[in-house]
Amino acid sequence: MVARLSPAARQGRAFGGYGAWKGLGYTLGPVLGGVLITVGGFGLLFGVLAGLAALAALWAALAVPAVPPLPRERQTVVDLARRLGRASFLGPTATLAAATGALAVGVGFLPVTGAAAGLGPLATGAAVSVLAVCSALVQPWAGRARDAGRLRDRTGMALGLGATAAGLTVAALVPGLGGVLGAAVVIGTGVGLATPLGFAHLAATTPPERLGQTMGAAEVGRELGDAGAPLLVGAVAVASSLGGGLIALAAVVAVTGGVVGAVGANSRAVGEDRGS
């Protein structure tokens, strides 16, 4: 719906704003949740969340316009597999999976690394909020830069994943508060750069009548990253150390970014050859 309700020339900005609002929820949720639990326990927390969900549902029912389905040609399973096997789908989806996985690991494991270094809950909780704030601030900027033609999709996705891998490496190798906060800033920035470009690229390369199917399939990829990355870090941590698990994930994210960037460079080279 974000893609359908946004002009094609402003989809980067639309998905950047979408990500920024999600990031705001990630930022405020843990802080406000802690306050509510302190004041009234888990009963108050879940009661407030239920009320917020009801208000959001009512607001959506009243404010979101109807988006009727577009007419589309019949599609076979082979057609679907062929379309989802293209680089224009696999690259952005792999980017979203890697970024989401790194975000999940940052939220889940940065407090663990901070606690192992002797930091208290306030400092480790602040690190998670810093990660979410950085991601929320970068996403609208990345979307606007993309719409203005200052940032190519695949270049930006590769740079974002490279920064994310660097942040995970910082978390693994730099001890203490500086390492935790530095990793939060770099991971959040990388995730914020890669995510809106991945969504916008999918929207730009998908027929409008297939947007729902494509975005749904891409969300499956994101969920695989969200579930798989913490499992990878945890498995390697059990076998060696938490730092080793973070380095392993950093390597996966870096390789993903390199492949996405290389495919983009090859695509541009092919286009230039055809144009000549």
pLDDT per residue over 172-220, tens digit each? 999 888 899 999 999 999 999 999 999 999 988 888 888 888 888 888 8
In this model, does residue 266 exceed pLDDT 60?
no
Local confidence band at 7 (pLDDT 50, 70, 90 cut-offs): confident
Give the whole-angstrom CA distance, residue 264 versus residue 26: 31
Going by C-alpha positions, the residue among 54, 115, 87, 90 that lies closest to residue 224 is 90
The per-residue pLDDT for 76 is 63
Burial of 52 (0-12, 13-18, 19+ CB in 10 A): exposed
Give the whole-angstrom CA distance, residue 221 versus residue 96: 7
pLDDT digits (tens, 9 = 90+) for 30-66: 778 878 888 888 999 999 999 999 999 999 999 988 8
Q: With contact defined as beta carbons under 8 Å apart, do 99 and 160 qualify?
A: yes
